[in-house]
Chain A
Amino acid sequence: NAGVTQTPKFQVLKTGQSMTLQCAQDMNHNSMYWYRQDPGMGLRLIYYSASEGTTDKGEVPNGYNVSRLNKREFSLRLESAAPSQTSVYFCASSAQGNQPQHFGDGTRLSIL
């Protein structure tokens, strides 16, 4: 049982480049989330999808877009990467809104 799978695991971009981070879950969960993790700041919600076909902004959505491709997949896109977006990005899923969230192992993104 893979749980939540994120690709790629590592990526280095130059300022201004675009990139899509992929996330897939095999737990038949309705809700999916994207977080970023920065030292000393915990995890901050970027966007979430309560159910297939819906997306909403979280705490730090600026500079990002998301797509809920189907029930399994939720992607995060950086249209024009900036050094401030250097971070570790985590995808998570949960059965419903206020239920335990299950995390992937993250994508480590560096923007030069």
Chain B
Amino acid sequence: QQQVKQSPQSLIVQKGGISIINCAYENTAFDYFPWYQQFPGKGPALLIAIRPDVSEKKEGRFTISFNKSAKQFSLHIMDSQPGDSATYFCAASRGSGTYKYIFGTGTRLKVLA
């Protein structure tokens, strides 16, 4: 129940295309869902996050879609660019005061020029 399942493991997209990464969870107590972006040799950096009181959040070319009934959330990267090539991690945590993120296993995105 603590797992967050992320797919696909890797993704290749043409420049200008849409990249879509999906995550699914089982624990309905999760109430904070961040996405992290990681470049080689660097630590993960927070990209965008959502709480379950909204179904979508958009920041620039990045959008999180959240489906509470299906217990799924996804990251959409519009107009994907070669600079978006990185590994993306979804995560989930539950309740105020909790200190434990459960991370997905990561998606390696490559955007072809």
What DSSP secondary structure best describes chain B's contact surface?
A: loop
Question: What are the residues of chain B within 8 A of A105 when measuring CB–CB?
Answer: 41-43
A98 touches B98 (CB 8 A): yes
Which residue on A lies nearest to B90, using beta carbons?
Answer: A42
- Does A74 interact with chain B (Cβ within 8 Å)? no
Those of B60-113 within 8 Å (CB) of chain A: 89, 93, 95-101, 103-106
B38 to chain A, nearest CB (A): 8
Name the interface size band of chain B: 20 to 34
B residues near A33, Cβ cutoff 8 Å: 99
Interface string of A80-109 (1 = CB under 8 A from B): 000000000010100011101111111000
Contact of B104 (CB < 8 Å), options: A42, A59, A97, A106: A42
- On chain A, the residues within 8 Å of B44 by CB distance are 43, 90, 103
Taking a contact as CB atoms closer than 8 A, the residue among B34, B46, B98, B106 that contacts A97 in the complex is: B98
**A76 at the A/B interface (Cβ < 8 Å)?**
no
Interface residues of A in 27-45 (CB under 8 A from B): 31, 33, 40-45
- Interface size counted on chain A using CB atoms at 8 A: 26
Contact present for A101 and B46 (CB under 8 Å): yes
Point out the residue from A48, A100, A106 that lies within 8 Å of B43, measured CB to CB: A106
- Is B106 within 8 A of A42, CB to CB? yes
Q: Which B residue sits closest to A41, measured CB to CB?
A: B105
Q: Which residues of B contact A48 (CB under 8 A)?
A: 99-100
The answer to whether A104 touches B97 (Cβ under 8 A) is: no
* B-facing residues in A3-28 (Cβ within 8 Å): 4
Give the distance to chain A from B50, nearest Cβ to Cβ, in Å: 12
State whether the Cβ of A50 lies closer than 8 Å to any Cβ in chain B.
yes
Residues of B within 8 A of A42 (CB): 6, 89, 103-106
- Return 5 A-B CB contacts under 8 Å, by A number: A44-B103, A56-B99, A98-B32, A98-B99, A102-B46
Residue positions of B touching A, CB distance < 8 A: 6, 9, 31-32, 34, 36, 41-46, 49, 89, 93, 95-101, 103-106
Since A40-B9, A40-B105, A48-B99 are in contact, a sample of 4 more A-B pairs with Cβ atoms closer than 8 Å, ordered by chain A residue number, is A98-B31, A98-B93, A102-B46, A106-B43
